[in-house]
A = this chain, B = another copy of it.
Amino acid sequence: MFLKKLTLLNFKNYESAQAELSEAINCFVGDNGSGKTNLLEAVYYLSLCKSCFNIPDLQNIKIGEQFFMIDGDFHIKDETEKIICAVQEGLKKKFSRNKKEYTRLSDHIGLIPAVLSTPSDTQLVYAASDERRRFLNGLISQHDRAYLQNVIDYNKALEQRNRLLKNFAQTNTWDELALEIWDETMSQTGEKIFESRKELIDKLKPVFQKYYSFISGDNEEVSLVYKSDLENGSLKELLNESRQADRFAQRSTIGIHRDDLVFLIGDRNIKKTGSQGQQKTYLVALKFGQFDLIKGITSKKPLLLLDDVFDKLDAGRVERIISLVAEENFGQIFITDANKVRVDKVLEKVSSDHRIFKVQAGKLELVDK
């Protein structure tokens, strides 16, 4: 599975652009603000129907225009499949496969899996726990649809329960029966979410550690720990026990909405003790681990989008990442870099087929085959 041709119309800073891609390695080089990352975002759209940076669709329309279109010709199981994403002001987003429009976007998810590593992944280290839960959700829901529904149901119940608690405080009332209805939904869905997350991390951890150890040259010990209130008992019991605390706090103080992932280097949180290069290595290894996981589950090699992946890393780590991506294990890869010299050096060491595109103010030019 790979993307043969990408065509953009009014997408971000691209008025009109087209690229015939290599089925192995594609590099986009160019100055800051030229639109390198926008190309990865376009590919991501074709895979997951949305922006990888949580940008509302309409904001991705080129300034002054009314619509954008991303058109991808994929090679899937010896067939050409045409995937088109079109966004227009005032209309619903259109997403089609071979000219047949999807009624539900979720039906497309999974056809073309993709994994993105980008500098803004540092948010996973620095932001509050909801960012890490979103990462978990994204990871699991790419291959498990029931999971996403559970999360939606859980969040609805949680919202209702919190509204009740606030209302009790404002009206100085208390009704345990009313709470129990929501406890029930939260428990049922919460337990399933907990199991899915635990299982995922159990699988992800060893693969991730293998990659980290390789990239760092076996230099540091890292780990990945899933933390949940539900380690302390069933959610039903826990909700029961926390009633008085919840009443006082006017919100639900226990549940999988408080889950977190802890990123460790040695036995300390990498946020506080890891260097920036170590944090970067951690996040890249995490994404490579995600790649292996999806590949194992779907038997497809996800598209690998590497945005500025060599930044911050020392020469040894850069070299080991290159030797990784040159392996058979990976499929089609997209790399952005502001540094053409570095990309040339990188590709010297790679025997796989590759193409370099020069990006300049929303123009795309093949410079090296």
Chain A residues in the interface with B (C-beta under 8 A):
30-38, 55, 59, 63, 119-120, 122-123, 126-127, 169-170, 172, 216, 219-220, 266, 272-278, 280-281, 307-308, 311-317, 338-340
Contacts and interface: CB of A to CB of B under 8 A. Distances in A.
**Assembly of this chain: how many copies?**
2
Nearest to A316: B31
Given A127-B127, A170-B169, A339-B315, A273 B59 contact: yes
A212 B32 CA distance: 13
Residue among A35, A307, A315 with most chain B CB within 10 A:
A315
Given A37-B275, A170-B169, A172-B172, A314 B59 contact: no
B338 A308 contact: no
A33 B311 contact: no
Nearest to A220: B33
Given A311-B312, A312-B308, A277 B127 contact: no
Given A119-B312, A312-B311, A338 B59 contact: no
A294 to B, nearest CB: 25
A170 B248 CA distance: 9
Nearest to A276: B119
Contacts of A30: 314
Contact of A32 (B59, B312, B340): B312
Contact of A317 (B32, B63, B170, B281): B32
Contact of A311 (B36, B127, B274, B311): B311
A31 B277 contact: yes
Nearest to A219: B33
Contact of A308 (B122, B273, B276, B278): B276
Contacts of A38: 275
A358 B307 CA distance: 28
A275 B33 contact: yes
A63 B273 CA distance: 10
A65 to B, nearest CB: 14
A308 to B, nearest CB: 6
